Structure 1
Amino acid sequence: MLRRTLLAALLLTTACGGGTGGAPGTIEYWLWDSAQQPGYQKCADAFQRRHPGLRVHISQYGWDEYWSKLTASFIADTAPDVFTDQLAKFPQFVDLEVLRPLDDLVPTADIEDSDFQEGLAELWKGKDGKRYGSPKDWDTIAMFYDTAALRAAGVDPATLGELTWNPRDGGTFEKTIARLTVDQNGVRGDEPGFDRTRVKTYGLAANGGGGDNWGQTQWSAFTGSAGWQATDRNPWGTRFNLDDPVVQDTLRWYFGLVQKGYLASFAAIGGNNVITADKQIQSGIAAMGLSGSWTISSFTGLTDAAGRKLDIGLAPTPIGPTGKRASMFNGLADSITTFSRQPENAAKWVKFMSGEECQNIIGRSGVVFPARPAGTELAIAYNRDERKLDVSAFTDHIADRTTFPLPVTSNAADVTALMRPALDSIFLGEAPATSLTHLNQQLNELFEVSG
C-alpha cells in the first residue's frame, strides 16, 4: 500500500507540470491491438478531413510493452494525449488521478450512456460519477472449436449449443471435453485405459489461472452461470465474495479438470509464457477453447502445418446450475490523460472515435464489436458475409441479457497482485479452492486500510 501511495504522489506531482505531447496540432494516440490499427488509421484520416488543422499520430505497442510504457510515460511526463483503456486497468488510473474527466471538456460533455450497448458506458464512470472513458467496443465469451477434432471424436457440433455443466460431475460439458481429449496412445478421455499423464490433445484449452482478469477467458462463464458475483456491487464494490461456496465449488471442479487430463495443464500451455487458446487449437494441444470476441480474426485466420485454413466453429458458453448460460461483459474505451496540453483537441478525437462514422468504419473491419449498436450490426454482417461465420454465440448474450460486467474496484493493481499467485496456485494444484477464503480476507483488508 505504501508503494502505491508513493507512486500516486509521484504521478500527481508529475501531472501538475503538464505533458510534453506531440507537435502543435498533433494528437498522440496509443493502442495495443495491431489488428485494430488499420481501422483506426482510417478513422484518423476521416477525422483529419473534418479538422484540417489537426493530425492524429497513432502508436501501437504489444500488450505487455503497452502498459509498461504507459506507466513510464506518466512518470516521465511523456504520456500520450489519448490512449486505449481497459476495464481491468482503468480503476487504478482513476485512483492515481491521471485521467481527465470527459464531462469537463466541451466536445465530450454531451456523450450519452444511451449511445452505446446497454450497461457499457456506466462502467467507465468514477466514484465521483464523472465519465473517464468513452466506449469504443465491447466483448463477450464463447467457445471456439476445431471441426475436424469434433468430427474425429464423433461429436455433432449442433450438440454444443445445449451443453450443461454443474460442479458435481461437470454435466454434458465435461462428458464432451472428455470425449475430445486424446492421450498419446490414441485413447480418448471417456474410454478405458486413458492415460491422463500423457495427453496429446486436451478437450479444453487453458489460459492460466485467471487472476489478472477475474477469469474472463478461463472460469468466469462458469461462475457467472452458477449465479456468483465477485463483489457486493459493481462498479466500485468494496467487499469481495471469494469466500462463497459457489465460487469455491466451481473452481474446484474447473481446475480439477487438469487433474483428470481434460483441461490443458500449466506445462502444456508453456508455463508462464502462456500459449494462447487459438495457438493451442492450431497446434493440436486442444480441441476447443473459451475465448473473447476480440479474438475472432485470430481464430478464423488459423492454418495447419501445410498452410491449409482450419475449419473453426463457434458455440455458446454452457448452461449452468442457474438454468442459464453467462458471459463476462467487458470492453475498451478511450481516455484522455491529465498530461495532455491540448485536452479540447484530444476530446474532439475521442468524441469522433465513439461517434457513428468511426464506429461504422470499425464495424466494417470485423475485428471487434463496436460500442454502438449500428456498428455491431456491421461487424455481424462482415463475419457472416466475409468469414461465413455465425457470431451469435457472442451477440446472443446481449440479446438474452446473460452478461455480467467485469468487476471494477479501487486498489485494482493491489487486487491483481494478490489474485494472480493465488489463482495460479489453484491451477497448479498447489492450493485448494478453499484457499480463496484467505484471499478474500486479504482483498477486503485493502479497503479497510485505504478507507
Structure 2
Amino acid sequence: MRRTALGALGVATLALTACGGGGDGDDAALDYWLWDANQLPAYQQCVSDFTADTGIDVEVTQMGWDDYWSSVTNGFVADTAPDVFTNHLSRYPEFVANGQLLALDDLAATAAVDTSIYNEGLADLWIAEDGQRYGLPKDWDTIALFYNEQLLDDAGYTAGDLADLTWNPDDGGTYEEAIAHLSVDANGIRGDEDGFDKNNVAVYGLGLNGAGSGQGQTEWSYLTGTTGWAHTDENPWGTHYNYDDPDFQASMDWFAALADKGFMPKLETTVGASMADTFAAGKSVLNANGSWMIGQYTGYDDVEVGIAPTPTGPSGERASMFNGLADSVYAGTDHPEEAAQLVAYLGSADCQDVVAEAAVVFPAITASAEKAAAAYDAQGVDVSPFTTHVEEGSTFLFPITAHASQIDGIMAPAMDAVVSGKAPASSLTGANDQVNALFE
C-alpha cells in the first residue's frame, strides 16, 4: 500500500481561513485529511486557493500512514472523522459497506464533474458495486527500480544493462544475476563470487520494504504480474483469491530465497526502518518502489539516483500494479454540499496543475500528469520507467474487493512467515482458504 517515509513524522495541521466570501459556504468550516507529507505543501496551496474562491474555511491535517487510518476509522465510530479525506482503493469498499461515505453522484458539485479528464479507467475504480461513485481521482502510481548510480558503476553495470533485465521464478534470470553481483560483503566480495559471506553483508543488491502482505505492491507484484498470475478471479470486485496458485508460490519461494542468499536484507531487519533511507546510506543498490517516492529518492544530497524499468518476465512483458488515490466525503459531515465543492476542486485542473508543478506525484488528470512529467524532466529526473507502464498498457489493478481489513489480517502474518523464511510458500494455501472463506 502506498505510504511515504516522511509520513512517519507525525501530525501536521494547517488552518486556512478566508476573508469575505459569499453564499452558503460562509458558515461552513471543513476538515481535510491526507497522509503524504511530500504532498502536503501542494495541497495546502490548493486548499488556500479554494478558500479564497469560495469563502469556505478548511483545516488541513497530515499524519503518518498507520496513525492516519486508525484515526479515520476511529473517527467514523466517534463521529469525529474529517469532512473530506484522501481515500485508498483497498479501504473504500469496506467504508461503503458500512455506510460511512456519501455517494458523490448525490451531491451537486461532484455529480457535475466530467470524469473523462482523468487517466483512462481511474474514475471507474471509485464506482462501487452499488453503481455509485465514492471518490474523485487525485493521482495514479506505478512501480520502477531506483538505483544508486555510483554503486552500479562500481559493479560494472550500466543503465542500459538494467533496462534489459529479465526475470523468472525458476532461477531469477538476469535480474537475480544483477542482484547477486551488486551485493557486496564486508570483505568486498560480491554475491556471485566464491567466498561471499551472506551473514556479513555490507551492501545488498536489492532493498526490502517488507513482506507486502497480500498485495505486494512495491515488494513483489511487479514480478508475479509477469507470470500470468492475478490476485483475484476478477478485478475489481473479485470474490476468489489465488494465493494457492503454483506460479505465485514459486515466485514467493524465489523472493524469500534472496534474503537467505544474502542478496536482500532479512525481513526482521526492516522493521521500523526506511528502505529509502537505507538506500541513501549506500546499504542497497536497487529499490523497487512507487512513483510517489520519486521526490524522496532524488532529494538525497549524497547519492546520485537513477530510475530503471522493472524486469521483463515470463510473459515477455514488464508489469506494474496500478493504483490511484481519491478524495471522499464522510457520511456524517455537517456540510455535505460544501464538502463536495472541496472534492470537486481537489479533482480539478486548478488544483492538480499545482500538484503537477510540485513534481511529487502524477495527477489523475491526463493533462496535469503530462505537466508533472515535464516538471520532473526540468529537474533532470527521467520518469519514463514509471510512465511507460501506462503508455504500453503493462499495468494491472490494485486488488479491490470486500473484506480488505480481514484479508490483510490473514495475509500479513502469512506473508511475513514466508519472506522471513519461517514457512515455505506452500503454506499460503491455508491462508488462501481462510481468505476465500470470507466470501462464502
TM range (shorter): over 0.9
Q: Choose from 331, 356, 361 the match for 2:349.
A: 356
* 1:140-219 equivalence runs, <5 A: 140-211=142-213, 214-219=215-220
1:184-230 per-position Cα deviation (integer Å, ceiling 9, x unaligned): 11100011111112111110000111006x00010000011112111
SS in 2 for 1:225: coil
The alignment status of 1:346 with 2:317, answered yes or no, reads no
1:292 shift after superposition: 0.3
The alignment status of 1:422 with 2:423, answered yes or no, reads no
How many residue pairs get aligned? The number is 416
1:176 shift after superposition: 0.4
| Match in the other structure for 2:67 | 65
1:350-409 per-position Cα deviation (integer Å, ceiling 9, x unaligned): 0011111111111011011000011111111111112x0100000000000000000011
Q: Choose from 371, 374, 389 the match for 2:381.
A: 389
CA contact (8 A) 1:168 1:253 kept: yes
| Match in the other structure for 1:17 | none
* 1:296-375 equivalence runs, <5 A: 296-303=294-301, 309-375=302-368
1:86 shift after superposition: 1.2
Write the distance in 1 (CA, Å) between the matches of 2:240 and 2:70. 29
Write the distance in 1 (CA, Å) between the matches of 2:179 and 2:323. 26
1:416 shift after superposition: 0.4
Name the amino acid aligned to 2:73.
Answer: T
Write the distance in 1 (CA, Å) between the matches of 2:221 and 2:359. 25
Write the distance in 1 (CA, Å) between the matches of 2:92 and 2:409. 15
Q: Percent identity?
A: 47
Q: Choose from 424, 434, 438 the match for 1:442.
A: 434
Q: Choose from 52, 55, 59 the match for 1:49.
A: 52
1:87-146 per-position Cα deviation (integer Å, ceiling 9, x unaligned): 122222122110111011111113344221112112111111111111000000000000
SS in 2 for 1:185: coil
TM-score in terms of structure 2 length: 0.92
| Match in the other structure for 1:276 | 274
CA contact (8 A) 2:252 2:419 kept: no
1:236 shift after superposition: 1.0
SS in 2 for 1:38: helix
Write the distance in 2 (CA, Å) between the matches of 1:348 and 1:378. 24
* Unaligned residue ranges in structure 1 (runs of 5+): 1-21, 304-308
The CA RMSD over aligned residues, in Å, is 1.3
CA contact (8 A) 1:369 1:379 kept: yes
Runs of 4+ in 1 over 6 A off after TM superposition: none
CA contact (8 A) 1:204 1:263 kept: yes
CA contact (8 A) 2:35 2:65 kept: yes
Write the distance in 1 (CA, Å) between the matches of 2:86 and 2:192. 45
The alignment status of 1:36 with 2:45, answered yes or no, reads no
SS in 1 for 2:212: coil
Write the distance in 2 (CA, Å) between the matches of 1:267 and 1:185. 23
1:313 shift after superposition: 0.3
Write the distance in 2 (CA, Å) between the matches of 1:51 and 1:113. 22
1:23 shift after superposition: 9.6
Moved more, 167-176 or 85-94: 85-94
Write the distance in 1 (CA, Å) between the matches of 2:115 and 2:426. 39
Moved more, 418-427 or 102-111: 102-111
TM-score in terms of structure 1 length: 0.90
| Match in the other structure for 1:118 | 120
* Unaligned residue ranges in structure 2 (runs of 5+): 1-24
Name the amino acid aligned to 1:350.
Answer: V
CA contact (8 A) 1:211 1:420 kept: yes
Write the distance in 2 (CA, Å) between the matches of 1:383 and 1:108. 30
